Structure 1
Amino acid sequence: MVKSEIDARMLAEADAMRARDLAVLWHPCTQMAEHPDTLPLVPIRRGRGVWLEGVDGRRYLDAVSSWWTNLFGHGEPRIAAAIGQQALELEHVIYAGFAHEPGLRLAEQLLALAPPGLARVFYADNGSAAIEVALKMSFHSFLNRGQSQRRKFVALRNGYHGETIGALSMGDIPLYRRVYAPLLLEPLFAPSPDAFDAEPGESAEQCALRRADELDAVFAAHEGEICALVLEPLVQCAGSMRMHHPAYLRRAREICNAHGAHLIADEIAVGFGRTGTFFACEQAGISPDFLCLSKGLTGGFLPMSAVLTTAHVYEAFLGDSRERAFLHSHSYTGNPLGCAAALASLAIFAEEPILARNRDTARRMAELAAPLAAHPQVRDVRQTGMILAIEMAPGERRGLRAYRSALANGVVLRPLGDVLYWMPPYCIGEDELQHLARATFAAIEEATT
Structure 2
Amino acid sequence: MSSSANSPVWHPFTQHGLGEPIPLIARGEGARLYAPDGNHWIDAISSWWVTTHGHAHPRIMAAIRDQSEKLDQLIFAGWTHEPAESLAAELIRITPAPLTRVFFSDSGSTSVEVALKMALGYWANIGAPRSRILVLEHSYHGDTIGAMSVGERGVFNKPYEPLLFDVDTIPFPHEGLEQATLDALEAACAAQKTGSVPAAFIVEPLILGAGGMLIYPAWVLAEMRSICARHGVLFIADEVMTGWGRTGTRFACDQAGVIPDILCLSKGLTGGALPLAVTLCIEPIFAAHFSADRAKTFYHSSSYTANPIACAAANANLEIWRDEPVQQRIDMLADAQAAHLSILATDPRVANPRRLGTIAALDVVVPDGGYLSNLAPRLIAFYRDHGVLLRPLGNTIYVMPPYCITADELAAVWRAISASLDQSFG
Q: TM-score, normalised by structure 1?
A: 0.91
Q: What corresponds to 1:135 in structure 2?
A: 116
CA shift digits 1:22-65 (9 cap, x unpaired): 43110001111112xxx321111111100001234311000000
Kindly report which structure 2 residues correspond to 1:197-346, keeping only aligned pairs within 5 A, or say none.
198=175, 202=176, 207-221=177-191, 225-346=197-318
Cα distance, 1:221 vs. partner? 3.3
Kindly report which structure 2 residues correspond to 1:364-403, keeping only aligned pairs within 5 A, or say none.
364-394=336-366, 395=368, 396-403=373-380
CA shift digits 1:345-375 (9 cap, x unpaired): 1111111121122112111111111121222
CA shift digits 1:274-310 (9 cap, x unpaired): 1111010000001001100011011111111000001
1:95–1:334 Cα contact (<8 Å) kept: yes
2:319 equivalent among 340, 347, 358: 347
Q: What corresponds to 2:149 in structure 1?
A: 169
Quick one: distance in 1 between partners of 2:268 and 2:290?
32
Q: What corresponds to 1:88 in structure 2?
A: 69
- Long gaps (5+) in structure 2: none
Q: What corresponds to 2:420 in structure 1?
A: 443
2:290–2:296 Cα contact (<8 Å) kept: yes
Quick one: distance in 2 between partners of 1:217 and 1:56?
59
Q: What corresponds to 1:102 in structure 2?
A: 83
Quick one: distance in 2 between partners of 1:154 and 1:102?
35
Q: What corresponds to 2:105 in structure 1?
A: 124
Deviates more, 1:406-415 or 1:218-227: 218-227
Q: What corresponds to 1:25 in structure 2?
A: 9
Three-state SS of the structure 2 residue aligned to 1:309 is: strand
Three-state SS of the structure 1 residue aligned to 2:345 is: helix
CA shift digits 1:374-394 (9 cap, x unpaired): 222211110100111111123
Q: What corresponds to 2:160 in structure 1?
A: 180
Q: What corresponds to 1:44 in structure 2?
A: 25
Cα distance, 1:220 vs. partner? 2.3
One-letter amino acid of the counterpart of residue 77, structure 1: P
One-letter amino acid of the counterpart of residue 421, structure 1: Y
CA shift digits 1:87-132 (9 cap, x unpaired): 1011111111111110000001111111331000000011110000
One-letter amino acid of the counterpart of residue 418, structure 2: F
Quick one: distance in 1 between partners of 2:344 and 2:4?
35
Quick one: distance in 2 between partners of 1:128 and 1:444?
34
Quick one: distance in 2 between partners of 1:444 and 1:166?
38
Cα distance, 1:173 vs. partner? 4.4
Cα distance, 1:324 vs. partner? 0.6
One-letter amino acid of the counterpart of residue 18, structure 1: S
Q: TM-score, normalised by structure 2?
A: 0.96
1:121–1:306 Cα contact (<8 Å) kept: yes
Q: What corresponds to 2:331 in structure 1?
A: 359
Three-state SS of the structure 2 residue aligned to 1:89 is: coil
Three-state SS of the structure 2 residue aligned to 1:283 is: helix
Quick one: distance in 2 between partners of 1:145 and 1:24?
49
Three-state SS of the structure 2 residue aligned to 1:24 is: coil
Three-state SS of the structure 2 residue aligned to 1:175 is: coil
Q: What corresponds to 1:71 in structure 2?
A: 52
Cα distance, 1:222 vs. partner? 5.4
Cα distance, 1:327 vs. partner? 1.4
Say which structure is richer in helix: 1
Q: How many residues align?
A: 419
1:159–1:238 Cα contact (<8 Å) kept: yes
1:208–1:245 Cα contact (<8 Å) kept: no
One-letter amino acid of the counterpart of residue 88, structure 1: E
Three-state SS of the structure 2 residue aligned to 1:278 is: coil
Matched, 1:422 2:402: no
Three-state SS of the structure 2 residue aligned to 1:61 is: strand
Quick one: distance in 2 between partners of 1:58 and 1:213?
53
Three-state SS of the structure 1 residue aligned to 2:199 is: strand
2:44–2:402 Cα contact (<8 Å) kept: yes
Quick one: distance in 1 between partners of 2:95 and 2:192?
31
2:190–2:197 Cα contact (<8 Å) kept: no
Three-state SS of the structure 1 residue aligned to 2:102 is: strand
Cα distance, 1:260 vs. partner? 0.9
Distance change in 2, residues 1:325/1:42 (3 Å): same
1:50–1:73 Cα contact (<8 Å) kept: yes
Quick one: distance in 2 between partners of 1:146 and 1:254?
24
One-letter amino acid of the counterpart of residue 215, structure 1: L
2:169 equivalent among 189, 192, 195: 189
Q: What corresponds to 1:9 in structure 2?
A: none
2:390 equivalent among 390, 399, 413: 413
Quick one: distance in 2 between partners of 1:116 and 1:287?
9
Quick one: distance in 1 between partners of 2:133 and 2:423?
43
